[in-house]
Structures are given as C-alpha cells and as structure tokens.
Structure 1
Amino acid sequence: MNKHCTRFSDISTSEKILNTVFLLTITLGYIVALMNTYYSHQGRDGKRGLSIDDIAIMYHGSYNQSRLETAINGIMEPNLKFKTDKEIISKWIHKGAEETTYQTEIAPILNRDCAICHTPTINASLPDLSNYKGVKEVTHSGGAPLPSLVRVSHIHLFGIAFILYFIGRIFLLCDINIYVKRVAVVIPFIAMLLDVLSWFITKALPEFAYVVVISGTLMGLSMGMQIIISIYQMWLPVPQKLS
C-alpha cells in the first residue's frame, strides 16, 4: 500500500515555525563559525586577511617559522600586551627553546597573554601553552599535529553530520524533482568528508589547501541552498507535484 508523501503543505503551522527557527539558528551558527574560521586562520602568513597560504600553514606548517612564531606574528599578535615580546619569544626559539629560559622569560608572557585560551580545560582544540611541554611542541615548523587533527575531525564529523541530517530531513519535505532532492541531500555529506580528509592530506601536501577551501565552500553552499528552498516552500507553497 502506497502512503502519501509528506510535504510542507501536510505539516502544521507549529511544525513550520519549529523548522524555521531551527534553520535560521543553524544559519546564524554557520555565519559565526565562518567568522571563527577567519579569525583563527588569518594572518599566519604574516599578512592581513585569510589566504590559501594561511590554510596551508595551518595544516602543513611554515617553511621559515615555527608554529609559535607564525601565531605571534599573525593571529596571536593582538593578544600580546607588549609587541617586543615577539622578539623575546623568537630569540628563545632560535636559541634552542631551553626550559630554564622558558621558566624565567617565556612562561610569564604566555601565562599572561595566551594561557587564558590555550589551556586543555578551556579549549582542547588549541595548543597547550600553559606548560613547557606544550609550548615545546609548537616551537618547530610543522603544522597541526596528527593527534589534534584526529581530535578536531572526530568532533567535526559527529557534530556536522547531525546538523546536515536534520537540515536534510526538513529539505525532504520540499516539493521538487526526486532526483534533484536525492543528490542535494548527499552533496553536503560528501563535501564534509572531503573537507576533513583534505586536512590530513594538506599536512603532507600543502597544495591540497585548495581542496580544503573548495570542499568547505561546497558544503556551505549546499547547506544554504537546502535552507533557503525549505523556508521558501514552507511559507510560500508551490503547486503540488508528484516526486
């Protein structure tokens, strides 16, 4: 026995309101996430704004600076109370990053300006700058360490997958071609998986940073398309069609 497919015209106004506020909240959250991506990645190449080089440095590392130097010359520079502290940190790194000097000269700077965010209990996704062992790990020129990528990627996959699922469930109520609908709900999942996979590949091949940008953009555009069409058809119904 065939059952009638549920469409937006079949749901109550209360359900439409619930779906709409959810989609609008997700849209706002995504915009904030983009802002966070911009501010956490930009400036790593020593220039203002977000560039492909910033993405490559984030995952692969810089050829001429350690991770800590890249940060204090870019995104973390505004957090330093005294700009001369950059020179103190850089000299310490190039002299071997010894623990004795760290305790007397570097720890006071980092504890004052950086540890408030770079502490595992506050933000596990950021490098730990609250002790010598954690700081020592960012005094080399490599990109994001593998354990950090694994930690961030598993959180990213679980969290984004749930969001995409609920957006897709709402989008399935749209009255559009069934084949277009099927492709549309799959694309953001593929883009998300490609995005995460490209983080690990970029760690070895910096040129793959372009794929990070392209896949992230594709996921955002496909999500936005589903949200816009869903809200439009919820409140401005189209003529009924079989799909």
Structure 2
Amino acid sequence: MNATRNWSLPELSIPLKALFTGYIMVVGLGLLMAGGQILLTHGMADGKFGVSVDDIVYSYYGNRTGSKLESKLNGSMKDKATPEERMTLIKWARDGAKESEWEPIVQPIVMQKCAMCHAHIKSLPNVSQFDTMKDIAKVDEGADITSLTRVSHIHLFGISFIFFFVGYIFSMAVGFNRWVKAVIIFIPFAFLVVDIASWWLTKMNPQFAWFVIIGGFGYSIAATIMLFTSLYQMWVMPWVAAHKTPSA
C-alpha cells in the first residue's frame, strides 16, 4: 500500500517527470496538429472555414445532390482553380462526364491545376486518368466503406494507445476522488467509440452527424484536463509547496 501511495505526480523523480513531460508535450502538439488537419480537410467540405454539421454530413454521407468532384471544387479545392475552370469541370460532371469532352476540354485544366499533386502522391486519386475522374464525377456518396474501415481501425488502435498512456500518467494525480479520476480516465475511450461509430452511422443517416462532433469534443476535453493537470502536479504543485510561507 505504501509503495502504491508513493507513486504520485508531485513526488515523482526528476527523470520520470522529464519522461512524462516530454510525452505530454509531443502528444499535445499532435492533438493540435490533428485539429488543424480536420479544419483544413473536413472543415472545408462545405466551402467555409470551420467544422460544422454540414461538413460532417458532406464528408461521410456525401452531398448527394452533386458529385464528389463538385463537392471538392466548392470546398477544400476551391482555391486551386479559377471560377471559370471550376464551372467547366462541374458542368462536365453534371452532364455525365463524357469521354468525348475529356481530352479537348477537361484534361488540360486537370493537368495544369490538379495533376501536380494528384498524379504524384500515391495516397491521392490520380485525376490525370479519365477513369479516375469519371468515378469522382459520380454522385457524391461520401466516404467509401474501404476508406472508413481503414481510417477506423487506425484511429481505434492509435488513439487508444495515446489515451492509455495519458490516463496512466493522470492516474498518479492527487486530490481527486478515485471514482472521479476513474471516470475522467475512461471518458476518452468512451467518446472515441462514439466518434468512430458515428462515422458509420452518418454514412447511413446524416442525422447522426452531431455525434461525430460530440465524440471528438468529449475526448478532447477529457484529454486536455488530464494533460494540464499532470503538468501542473508534476512541476507547479511541488514548487508552490516548497515556497509556501509557514503560517504563524
């Protein structure tokens, strides 16, 4: 019992504090980068900066009034071409993506404005090929099952490892009721499941888009509480205790 009690954040050795602090700093920076990536991808799905319910719907359910090409050109790819060029590509998609118009009209725009990235980065669709563009020009049904499966398993494995170590460090915090501490540690895992599950539910029904936002917001808040509490108790709390003026 005494050995367990000694494992508290304020009383850790300096090397352990350095280890945990380094991890917290890198994880915190990673979470900020993840937020930035969401703003620049999903956050631009409706053509406006900032994550909204429409962004979530367009990303997972799709904008089924138009093609994925149209959604991208009016969203995250809006600044990559002139209004006239975007309208030419959108009209081509709406008219059925005819192969007869590919080489004389569409391909020159694609090669000049899109192929510099899409033809050389393997993770992106090679839009310099007609078959790829024809597929993108179909009605936008959001994320496909293959992509959802790949991203889901990466997030479930990767983020759960992050929350495990963040929770382990926070488990040494002092001043918390053990049940309150247990709930805070468990919350990120619960909201991660809600977040991933809501991707699939939104793919089937756009009404579930709110749960994506709730899930991401929930585990972000819990992780932030654990990260800042851990840093405070490792470094600030011991300093305050050491410099506290004894009462008369």
Same structural fold, with TM-score higher than 0.5 when normalized by the shorter chain: yes
Closer, same or farther: CA 92–160 of 1 in aligned 2, 3 Å: same
User: What is aligned with 2:148?
Assistant: 149
- 1:47 & 1:2 partners in 2: Cα distance? 56
Closer, same or farther: CA 79–177 of 1 in aligned 2, 3 Å: same
Closer, same or farther: CA 12–143 of 1 in aligned 2, 3 Å: same
* Unpaired segments ≥5 residues, structure 2: 242-248
Give the CA deviation at 1:9. Answer: 3.6
Q: Does 1:60 align with 2:58?
A: no
Q: Does 1:226 align with 2:229?
A: no
Give the CA deviation at 1:58. Answer: 0.9
Is the CA contact (8 Å cut-off) linking 1:117 and 1:123 kept in structure 2? no
User: What is aligned with 1:132?
Assistant: 130
Is the CA contact (8 Å cut-off) linking 1:198 and 1:209 kept in structure 2? yes
Alignment of 1:200-211 (within 5 A): 200-211=200-211
Give the CA deviation at 1:231. Answer: 0.6
Closer, same or farther: CA 151–24 of 1 in aligned 2, 3 Å: same
- 2:94 & 2:104 partners in 1: Cα distance? 17
SS at match of 2:83: coil
Deviates more, 1:189-198 or 1:20-29: 20-29
Closer, same or farther: CA 115–19 of 1 in aligned 2, 3 Å: farther
User: What is aligned with 1:185?
Assistant: 185
Give the CA deviation at 1:90. Answer: 1.0
Deviates more, 1:186-195 or 1:8-17: 8-17
Give the CA deviation at 1:100. Answer: 4.2
Is the CA contact (8 Å cut-off) linking 1:191 and 1:218 kept in structure 2? yes
Closer, same or farther: CA 137–53 of 1 in aligned 2, 3 Å: same
- 1:155 & 1:130 partners in 2: Cα distance? 29
Closer, same or farther: CA 50–182 of 1 in aligned 2, 3 Å: closer
User: What is aligned with 2:246?
Assistant: none
**Superposition RMSD on alpha carbons, in Å?**
2.3
Closer, same or farther: CA 237–50 of 1 in aligned 2, 3 Å: closer
Is the CA contact (8 Å cut-off) linking 2:110 and 2:127 kept in structure 1? yes
- 1:236 & 1:91 partners in 2: Cα distance? 61
Closer, same or farther: CA 132–8 of 1 in aligned 2, 3 Å: same
- 2:141 & 2:50 partners in 1: Cα distance? 22
Give the CA deviation at 1:10. Answer: 3.9
**Higher helix proportion:** 2
Closer, same or farther: CA 221–57 of 1 in aligned 2, 3 Å: same
Number of aligned residue pairs:
236
Is the CA contact (8 Å cut-off) linking 1:167 and 1:226 kept in structure 2? yes
Deviates more, 1:84-93 or 1:35-44: 35-44
Is the CA contact (8 Å cut-off) linking 2:118 and 2:127 kept in structure 1? yes
Q: Does 1:34 align with 2:35?
A: yes
User: What is aligned with 1:99?
Assistant: 99
Is the CA contact (8 Å cut-off) linking 2:39 and 2:49 kept in structure 1? no
Give the CA deviation at 1:53. Answer: 0.9
User: What is aligned with 1:16?
Assistant: 17
Give the CA deviation at 1:214. Answer: 0.6
Is the CA contact (8 Å cut-off) linking 2:47 and 2:78 kept in structure 1? no
Letter in 2 for 1:225: I
Closer, same or farther: CA 222–87 of 1 in aligned 2, 3 Å: same
CA deviation digits over 1:108-151, x for unaligned, max 9?
333433344446x7363x55534333333322221111111111
- 2:19 & 2:117 partners in 1: Cα distance? 35
Structure whose CA Rg is larger: 2
